[in-house]
Amino acid sequence: MENEMKLEFISKSNNEAFARIAVAAFVSSLDPTIEEISDIKTAVSEAVTNSIVHGYENKKGIIHIKCKIINRKIYIEISDNGKGIENVELAKQPLYTSKPDLERSGMGFTIMESFMDKLTVESILGVGTKIIMEKEIKELPKSENLTLEEALRG
């Protein structure tokens, strides 16, 4: 199966819900589990929050999301033209945050890394940041799929 989509929206934090729900809806054709969907939504939310809070520092800018499905893999690219990350390795450390005064947990990249199969971060100071994440949606045998009742409860 192959599919592709592109989204662009301004860097307002009330667009976070729109972004993660749009990506989740796009992925839903692969019939993911509740947990897989929730992992993807969380990872998208973290990346978009980073662009808004750190990339654009709450100023107006555009955030781009590109999604691609190839077979059972989803590729999500989230990019901004914000200020960029000076030290990507440092930024990826658990609990590291450049804005401790704002009650940031410093867990954004750690969550993206552990909820998705692969995370790539490209960043150029003054130019912007691009995050590419991929995740394989496992094909479950029919009997192991959640029943509708379980899904609603979960």
Partner 1 sequence: MLSLENNVGDIETGSFCLTFEGTKRTGPIVPIITGGSMEYKYLENQKILIFKITEEIDEFKAKELRRKADYEIERFMPKRVIFDFNRVSFMDSSGIGMIIGRYKQTSMLGGKMELTNLRPAVRKIFEMSGVLRLIPEIDLEQEELPELQQNFI
Buried b / exposed e along 67-86 (16+ C-beta atoms within 10 A): bbbeeeebebbbbbbbbbbe
Among 7, 107, 132, 146, binds partner 1 (CB under 8 A): 107
Choose the binding region for partner 1 from 1-9, 73-81, 100-108, 129-137 (rule: CB under 8 A).
Answer: 100-108
Smallest distance from partner 1 to CB 151, Å: 12
- Going 68 to 142 to 112 to 118, the CA torsion angle's sign is negative
# binding residues, partner 1 (CB under 8 A): 25
41 scored as a contact of partner 1 (CB under 8 A): yes
Does position 85 bind partner 1 by CB under 8 A? no
Interacting span for partner 1 (CB under 8 A) from 15-23, 68-76, 83-91, 133-141? 15-23
> With respect to partner 1, which residue has the nearer C-beta, 13 or 87?
13
Q: In the chain, how many H helices and how many E strands?
A: 5, 5
Binding to partner 1 by residue 119, rule CB under 8 A? no
Task: Name which of 2, 15, 4 is nearest 80 in CA terms.
Answer: 15
Query: Which amino acid appears at position 10 of this protein?
Result: I
Question: What is d(CA 38, CA 124) in angstroms, rounded to the nearest whole number?
Answer: 30
Provide the terminal-to-terminal Cα distance of the chain, rounded to the nearest Å: 28
- Chain residues in the site for partner 1 (CB under 8 A): 13-14, 16-17, 20, 34-35, 38, 41-42, 45-46, 49, 52-53, 102-105, 107-108, 110-111, 114, 154
Residues serving a catalytic function are 46, 50, 104
